C-alpha cells in the first residue's frame, strides 16, 4: 500500500498515512479536526533505470552473475538475449 503525505492548512501539521489507492482522501485533520487537511503531491519512492529489471541487481562486475546464463528465462534461449 502506498504512503500518502498530508498537510493541514489550518494548524500546519504534516503527517503520512498508509492507505489503499482506492481509499478516499482523509477529510479531517487528526490534530485539530479542520477540513483543511489536504493530500500533498510527492515524488515516487522508486526509480526504474537501465534496459531491464536486472539493471540494479548486479551493479559491480565483481558480483556473481545470476545462474542460468544471466537471463531471466534461465536458458538464454528466449530470443531477447541475442
Q: 29: burial class by Cβ within 10 Å (0-12, 13-18, 19+)?
A: buried
pTM over 0.75: no
Q: 29: alpha, beta or left, given left = phi > 0 and alpha = psi -120 to 50? A: beta
Interatomic CA distance for residues 7 and 9, integer angstroms:
6
Whats the size of the chain, residue-wise?
Answer: 82
Q: What is the pLDDT of residues 36-71, one digit of tens each?
A: 999 998 877 666 666 666 555 655 655 555 555 555
Q: 26: burial class by Cβ within 10 Å (0-12, 13-18, 19+)?
A: middle
Amino acid at each position: 500500500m502506498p504512503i500518502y503525505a498530508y498537510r493541514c492548512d489550518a494548524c500546519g501539521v504534516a503527517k503520512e498515512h498508509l492507505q489503499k489507492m482506492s481509499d478516499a482522501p482523509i477529510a479531517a485533520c487528526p490534530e485539530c479536526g479542520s477540513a483543511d487537511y489536504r493530500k500533498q503531491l510527492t515524488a515516487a519512492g522508486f526509480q526504474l533505470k537501465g534496459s531491464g529489471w536486472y539493471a540494479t541487481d548486479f551493479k559491480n562486475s565483481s558480483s556473481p552473475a545470476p545462474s542460468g546464463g544471466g537471463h531471466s528465462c534461465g536458458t538464454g534461449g528466449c530470443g531477447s538475449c541475442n
